[in-house]
């Protein structure tokens, strides 16, 4: 399995699930989790491109 694939997929799932909560009363928490998911996507993508 390629290095960086798991954090990228995990980040995608976390970002998608937190985007669903942006309209709820937990908007601040959803925004924080959204940033956490986006950070996983970026760092996982860096690993994917770095270890080609």
As a whole number, mean pLDDT of residues 3-27 equals 94
**pLDDT grade, residue 10 (50/70/90)?**
very high
Predicted pLDDT at 1: 78
What b/e readout covers 22-38, taking b as 16+ CB neighbours within 10 angstroms? eeeeeeeebeebbeebe
Predicted pLDDT at 9: 96
- Pull the structure tokens for residue 28: 């601040």
- Tens of pLDDT, residue by residue over 18-37, are 999 999 999 999 999 999 99
């Amino acid at each position: 399995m390629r290095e960086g694939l798991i954090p990228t997929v995990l980040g995608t799932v976390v970002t998608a699930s937190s985007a669903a909560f942006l309209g709820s009363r937990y908007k601040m928490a959803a925004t924080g989790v959204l940033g956490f998911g986006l950070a996983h996507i970026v760092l996982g993508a860096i690993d994917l491109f770095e270890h080609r």
